[in-house]
């Protein structure tokens, strides 16, 4: 299977405000050593008071469109993977559509928790491959800090905020690019191991109680390692490739131990696995496009390279994809890498 779809633009945004492990240790019973040894995280970015999933998505989308040299009015569809939308409705995607001036685009959200970007990518690829859309903007954007219990050290140390975006376009038979395989999986029987209630949950309906992430860390760890390893291996096999053909694996940035365990299961050296969660934390559906933007900006990808994406999240939902990197049209804009992923960092 080859979907004739290529990524022609990438972009990312991380809020300027950072929150280090040392600062967290002043709020909850933890330490930098405890957090880093168990997760690989040193710091995470936190959305400002006026920032939302849509405002961050707008910033990432603008960068992606600039790198593709595409006018927002030429975008046909916008799909946003998010589990932290600005509100129940309208979709954050519609706010982004208006914010970037994509006047001719339809827009909708996809919620598959941390696997949201892969699900959005799958939907976007079908639009392009079928010919029903020429350009689809796929975004992962999350304000996870808004649904954290900041007294629970098992979850509050893990997550951060941010957004990443890619632009999808058709890849002709003689062009680089194409999605070689794309697998999505889910298991609703394990929903209670990782979830966040909301205003429509019966127990919270009409109440002022806040909804927070609830996680059984050990259960999620076990399921994530098994699910990601199996999905990645199946995606590589379905693509007709071997692990040796994968130039770079860009996994969901949840926990370095999960990433290392999956890489070991695949016999994939860690020098071919992209990791940036030490500086971002788990940004849920934003993590893969953010990592892709950074990999592009730092020269980790060359045209023709095969990339392996793999993600796992609440649902439980997971999946993997293999695609060929075609490169973006504009490597730089005004001397600044267009895949810039941070603002001017300041400390929280």
Q: Where are the domains of the chain?
A: 1-348
Average pLDDT over residues 106-125: 98
Averaged pLDDT for residues 236-263: 98
pLDDT at 6: 97
How confident is residue 211, by pLDDT bands cut at 50, 70 and 90?
confident
pLDDT value, residue 198: 86
Mean pLDDT of the region 303-329: 96
Percent of the chain predicted with pLDDT > 90: 89
Identify whether 114 is a catalytic site residue. Answer: yes
Q: Which of 252, 255, 276, 296 is catalytic?
A: 252
Catalytic, 255? Answer: no
Residue 332 has pLDDT above 90, yes or no: no
Residue 333 has a pLDDT of 38
SS3 at position 31: coil
Q: Mean pLDDT over all residues of the chain?
A: 93
Q: How confident is the model at residue 346 (pLDDT cuts 50, 70, 90)?
A: very low
Confidence of residue 341 (pLDDT cuts 50, 70, 90): low
d(CA 340, CA 170): 25
Which residues are bridge partners to 346 per DSSP? 17
Instruction: Give the closest residue to 63 by CA, choosing from 177, 170, 166.
Output: 166
What mean pLDDT is predicted for residues 214-228?
Answer: 96
71-78 average pLDDT score:
98
pLDDT of 209 over the 60 cut: no
User: Looking at the predicted structure, is the pLDDT value of residue 92 above 80?
Assistant: yes
Which pLDDT score is estimated for 205?
A: 67
From the list 111, 255, 276, 282, the catalytic residue is 282
Mean pLDDT for 167-194 is 96
Residue 55's alpha-carbon distances to 14, 49, 231, 329, in angstroms, are 11, 11, 32, 25
Q: Options 3.30.1300.10, 3.40.47.10, 3.30.360.10, 3.40.50.300; which CATH number does 1-348 get?
A: 3.40.47.10
Which pLDDT score, from 0 to 100, does residue 194 have? 95
Reported as a pLDDT band with limits 50, 70 and 90, residue 201 is: confident
The sheet carrying 106-110 orders its strands as 5-13, 161-170, 135-143, 77-81, 106-110
**Cα(11)–Cα(329) distance, rounded to whole angstroms?**
13
Neighbouring residues of 254: CB distance < 8 A, sequence distance ≥ 6: 114, 158, 224, 277, 282, 287, 312
Note the pLDDT of residue 206.
64
Sign of the dihedral defined by the CA atoms of residues 113, 117, 118, 120, in that order: positive
Taking the CB of residue 332, how many other CB atoms lie within 10 A of it?
11
Catalytic residue among 114, 156, 249, 296: 114
Say yes or no to pLDDT of 336 above 60: no
Q: What is the DSSP string of 157-217?
A: TTB-EEEEEEEEEE--TTSS--EEEEEEEE-GGGGGGEEE--TTSTTTTT--PPP-EEE-H
């Amino acid at each position: 299977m080859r979907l004739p779809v290529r990524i022609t633009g990438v972009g990312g945004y991380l809020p300027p405000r950072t929150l280090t492990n040392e600062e967290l240790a002043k709020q909850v019973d933890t330490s930098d050593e405890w957090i880093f040894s168990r997760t690989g995280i040193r710091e995470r970015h936190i959305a400002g008071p006026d920032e939302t999933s849509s405002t961050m998505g707008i910033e990432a989308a603008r960068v992606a469109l600039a790198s593709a040299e595409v006018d927002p009015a030429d975008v046909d569809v916008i799909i946003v993977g998010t589990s932290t939308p600005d509100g129940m409705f309208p979709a954050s995607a519609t706010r982004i559509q208006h914010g970037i001036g994509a006047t001719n685009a339809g827009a909708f959200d996809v919620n598959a928790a941390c696997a949201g970007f892969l699900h959005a990518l799958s939907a976007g690829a079908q639009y392009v491959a079928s010919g029903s859309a020429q350009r689809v903007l796929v975004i992962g954007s999350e304000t996870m800090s808004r649904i954290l219990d900041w007294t629970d050290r098992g979850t509050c140390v893990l997550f951060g905020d941010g957004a990443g975006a890619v632009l999808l376009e058709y890849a002709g038979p003689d062009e680089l690019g194409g999605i070689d395989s794309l697998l999505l999986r889910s298991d609703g029987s394990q929903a209670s191991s990782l979830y966040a209630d909301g205003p429509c949950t019966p127990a919270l309906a009409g109440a002022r109680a806040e909804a927070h992430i609830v996680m059984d860390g050990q259960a999620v760890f076990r399921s994530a390692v098994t699910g990601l390893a199996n999905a990645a291996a199946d995606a590589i096999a379905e693509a007709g490739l071997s692990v040796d053909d994968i130039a770079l694996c860009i996994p969901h940035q949840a926990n370095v131990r999960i990433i290392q365990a999956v890489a070991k299961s695949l016999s994939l050296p860690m020098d071919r696995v992209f990791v940036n969660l030490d500086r971002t934390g788990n940004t849920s559906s934003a993590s893969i496009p953010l990592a892709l933007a950074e990999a592009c900006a730092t020269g980790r990808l060359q045209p023709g390279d095969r990339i392996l994406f793999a993600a796992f999240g609440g649902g439980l939902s997971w999946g993997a994809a293999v695609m060929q990197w075609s490169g973006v049209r504009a490597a730089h804009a005004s001397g600044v890498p267009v895949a810039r992923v941070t603002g001017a960092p300041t400390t929280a």
